[in-house]
Amino acid sequence: MDRDKAVEVKSVSKHFGTYQALKSVSFDIGENEFFTMLGPSGCGKTTLLRMLAGFESPDQGSILLHGREVTQIPPHKRRVNTVFQSYALFPHMTLEQNVAYGLENLGWERAKIRARTGEMLERVHMSAMATRKPGQLSGGQRQRVALARALAPEPEILLLDEPLSALDLKLRQAMRDELRNLQRDTGITFVFVTHDQEEALDMSDRIAVLGAGEVQQIGTPAQIYEEPVNRFVADFVGETNFLDVEVLDSREGQATIRTPLGTFGVPATGAAQKGRATLSIRPEKINLGDQAAGGITLAARVVNQNYMGGFTHYTLETGGVTLRASRRNASRQGDLVATGADVTIGFLPGSARVLAS
Amino acid sequence: MRRLANNLPFWGLLPAWALMGFALILPILIIAAVSVATRGSHGGFTWDFNPAGYAQILFNEGWSGELEFTPQYLIIIGRTFLLAGATTALCLIFALPVAWYISRQTPGMRAILVYLVTLPFWVSMILRVYAWMIILGKDGPLPRFLETFGLAPGTSFMFNDGATLVAMVYTCMPLMVLPIYASIEKLDLTLIEASHDLHGNRFTTFRRVILPLTAPGIVSGAILVFVPALGAVLEPVLMGGGKQMMMGSLIQLQFGGGRNWPFGAAIAMVLMGLVMLFLIVTALRAARRTAGMEARA
Amino acid sequence: MSRSHDVKRYPGFGWLTLVFFVWLYLPLMVVVVYSFNANRIAGVWTGFSLDWYASALKNQALMNALKTSVTVALIATAVATSVALMAALAIIRGKNVRFRRLSETVVNLPLLLPEIVLAVASLILFSLVGLQNGLLKLILAHSAFCTPFAFLPIRARLQGMSLDFEEASADLYAGRWTTFRRVTLPLIFPGVFSGAMLAFLISMDDFITSNMLASGGTTTLPVYIFSLIRSGTTPELNAIGTLMILASLILATAALLVARRGTKP
């Protein structure tokens, strides 16, 4: 990354009682980046976000915002604003008053506050309701006001704590685009926390996958999905098939592995060392029937199928191993393979990934 | 039987109306009538219209029957308001941080602390006032304690407005803590974080977020303290002594053997009127606030 | 290593709360401690003694006052709780109730008026009606001002209870009475119990009305204690006070435990 560093997290640890929420976590977030912390609940992502906001402090390690150590600085003195999961709009204030609140606390002039408040409400298409109170708004409207309120004080960094989780599916999709555009337009660094991998892949410049209080992998969405570095990441992001394999030989970017389905050569990764390993192959990378040309091909039997509309998921059995595959229903007829049918399956060696066990 | 079952509201409410009608509404109407009746020569009264009871609040009848203004009862009314107001204010000042602290504890600890707040309330009111008579009284622990440090030797802490106030605050406190605690417990804590996130410091957050959102609890606590405090009898009688009267003790005095019933009834009507006025104003303000919210919808 | 800025805690509130609880309990402790004082003058400590407890328990006037108080409180509690229960059922469960708001205000009226006004009003009424029986006067007046204290917890419980249970009972062929006896009443029992406890407490504690209506032979406990205080503080009074504090403690804890069991599913 060539950007300046907006956030530096340095060897941060945190205990809650005997529970270790974060184990010496370090990473940087670049200027103007849309950075997502992705992970299951309890992985420490929310604790990290709260540390950036100032609501928690690390037991060990330090946090720098734009090169300045902030570990000891209370939340109200940090130029960081948060969009809370529950939005936390003040119920006794109008939308206008909510948006103006942060500006008033920063000591802005009255006229400037009015102008900025109007501008922010305009930006999220909520001007018409400026004098209403949050109790009268729908979930999506609240979300937009919460965004306007957090962006109004011109924060250096905007923190978003699962802001889409309370919205219904259609609205969530629309809000993703809106958030992405807002980030691009304002140029503010967004730090986004979610457990929804689809959201993370869709919106982020970079993703940090967190698990068990540690950073498992940091990378672009494509890197995270296509080149997971360990079993946790491959499992948590997207669906996949795992096979226990043995690496027989690994040299010059090429590894030879022995699997229950036979011995193949696949591209090697850093994790592939001689000995026991795990092979990950995603369901959509396994081709069925006439699509299964080239690469490694095997004979299999369809054990089960789940018709999903655009796709059909197949459960396959081959050589004593159960694999899941998904196949796009490219035309109205002839795509479905019947349960119990024998079928040829295949995948390209480059689609499979060898992971350390 | 069938008709009874079908007329549940009527038969269910009949006993309540009968009891309240006879033991409450009827007596209030009578006392209103007595307040404008004529004082009997040996206590009691006769049914002759006479506003003397009300006149006596402001005027004294001179030797030759002329009326001259006397502030003594106005002073009592004023003291009643001041003491009730001060009681409410002091209860509020202590109850807020205590209720806040309790609400921040673990659920188990909260239950224990709330129980500890309510417990003294189960102890007889007269005993709770009496306890302060011991503490503040001559040879009591407080004067003795101060004396050992050479402070305020020979000072009497009893029989003044301060003593009355101490006892009133003590007896009323749980009534203030509990409603405030209830409203703080309902407070969404993310709102406080949001306020700090938006650059509000502790003071700003308290003033602009916590206070407005716990206002309903504060208002009900204030009502629960202020209304009984206006009508206090035991505290002024026991702690204030005979001279530092409040409206409650003044009324009580008029109904002792052979005193002035119409005057007592008139003071009672004034007290009731003041309480009603306070309650109506509070209710109207609350209603206006909700109406204001709805009007914006 | 680092100071936590927990924005939900305010520094110093813990100490204030500690002072608060000391202030809340110290006066009661003073009464208890002084009750063991051998000296006749309450304020002067000369030695430990249980004599005052013995003399308190032998005090016939005290026992009479206690008997009067308990009699009045028990009957007033029964009346107030029944009236309140019926009113709550009618107001919350009744259909097409006329004067619903007004009825509720009337039931709660004693809470809105200063007690001294009610006491004086009752005194005048009873003297006009010519009611002579002192006990009956007390019971009538106490029943009236205890009713809202019984009403509020019952009402709250009833309002918080889903209609589903009663409808399920009716669906399972139970008549109105059976539904009330086997479904509604057991479910609102904690509310009825705390209402009754509160009514009992308020009646036992009442001074203003009882003092106003008191005549020979109907002296209640608080009125008797008031007369003792008036005649000078004695260690015996402290012993009586300690016994009363003990009784309140037991009652309060029992009430809490029953109410707790009621809230558990």
Q: What is the CATH classification number for the domain harbouring A108?
A: 3.40.50.300
* One domain for residues A21 and A70: yes
Please list every residue in chain C whose beta carbon sits closer than 8 Å to the beta carbon of residue A55.
5-7
SS3 category, C80: helix
Rounded Cα gap, residues A9 and A19, in angstroms: 20
Q: CB–CB of A81 and B190 under 8 A?
A: no
Domain ranges of chain B: 72-295
Rounded Cα gap, residues C66 and A279, in angstroms: 85
SS3 category, C83: helix
pTM of the model: 0.82
pLDDT at A96 (0 to 100): 93
Question: What is residue A333's DSSP assignment?
Answer: S
Domain around A162: 5-231
Weakest mean pLDDT among A100-104, A162-166, B97-101, C76-80: A162-166
CA distance C13 to chain A (A): 19
Rounded Cα gap, residues B241 and B238, in angstroms: 6
The last residue of one of the domains, among A231, A263, A282, is A231
Domain count, chain A: 2
* One domain for residues A224 and A258: no
Kindly write down the DSSP assignment for every residue of A64-91, as one continuous string: EETTEE-TTS-GGGSSEEEE-TT----T
Q: pLDDT under 70 in chain B at which residues?
A: 1-6, 41-43, 62-63, 65, 152-155, 257-258, 290-297
* One domain for residues A112 and A208: yes
* One domain for residues A246 and A337: yes
Looking at domain B72-295, what is its CATH homologous superfamily? Answer: MetI-like (1.10.3720.10)
* One domain for residues A302 and A333: yes
Query: What percentage of chain A reaches a pLDDT higher than 90?
Result: 41
Kindly write down the DSSP assignment for every residue of B90-117, as one continuous string: HHHHHHHHHHHHHHTS-HHHHHHHHHHH
* One domain for residues A195 and A270: no
For every one of its 265 residues, what pLDDT tens digit does chain C have, with 9 covering 90 and above? 334 567 777 778 889 999 999 999 999 998 888 888 777 665 666 777 777 888 888 888 888 889 999 999 999 999 999 999 999 988 888 777 778 888 888 888 888 888 899 999 988 888 888 888 888 999 999 999 999 999 998 998 888 888 888 888 888 888 888 888 888 888 888 889 989 998 999 999 999 999 888 876 788 999 999 988 888 767 788 888 899 899 888 888 888 887 776 554 4
Q: CB–CB of C7 and A60 under 8 A?
A: no
| Angle, vertex CA B186, rays to CA B185 and CA B187, nearest 5 | 90
* One domain for residues A207 and A318: no
Please list every residue in chain A whose beta carbon sits closer than 8 Å to the beta carbon of residue C5.
54-55, 57, 74-75
| C130 phi/psi in degrees, rounded to 5 | 80, 25
Closest Cβ–Cβ partner in A55, A57, A75 for C2: A57
Q: Could you tell me which chain A residue has the CA closest to the CA of B193?
A: A55
Closest Cβ–Cβ partner in C20, C87, C109 for B94: C20
pLDDT tens sequence across A40-57: 988 889 999 999 999 888
Q: Residue A272 — pLDDT band, cuts 50, 70, 90?
A: low
* One domain for residues A304 and A256: yes
* One domain for residues A196 and A257: no
Please list every residue in chain A whose beta carbon sits closer than 8 Å to the beta carbon of residue B200.
76, 101-102, 105
pLDDT tens sequence across A245-264: 888 877 777 788 888 888 88
* One domain for residues A129 and A31: yes
Q: Could you tell me which chain C residue has the CA closest to the CA of A60?
A: C1
pLDDT tens sequence across A274-293: 778 888 889 988 888 777 66
Chain A interface with B: residues with Cβ < 8 Å: 53-55, 74-77, 80-82, 84-86, 88-92, 94, 101-102, 105-106, 131-133, 135-136, 149-150, 153
pLDDT at A341 (0 to 100): 84
Question: What is residue C5's DSSP assignment?
Answer: -
Exposed, middle or buried, B254 (CB in 10 Å: 0-12/13-18/19+)?
buried
Q: What is the CATH classification number for the domain harbouring A262?
A: 2.40.50.140
* One domain for residues A186 and A248: no
* One domain for residues A66 and A206: yes
Q: Hey, what amino acid is at C181?
A: R
Using only the alpha carbons of chain B, give its radius of gyration: 24
The last residue of one of the domains, among A231, A253, A273, is A231
| Domains of chain C with CATH codes | 60-263 (1.10.3720.10)
The last residue of one of the domains, among A197, A231, A265, is A231
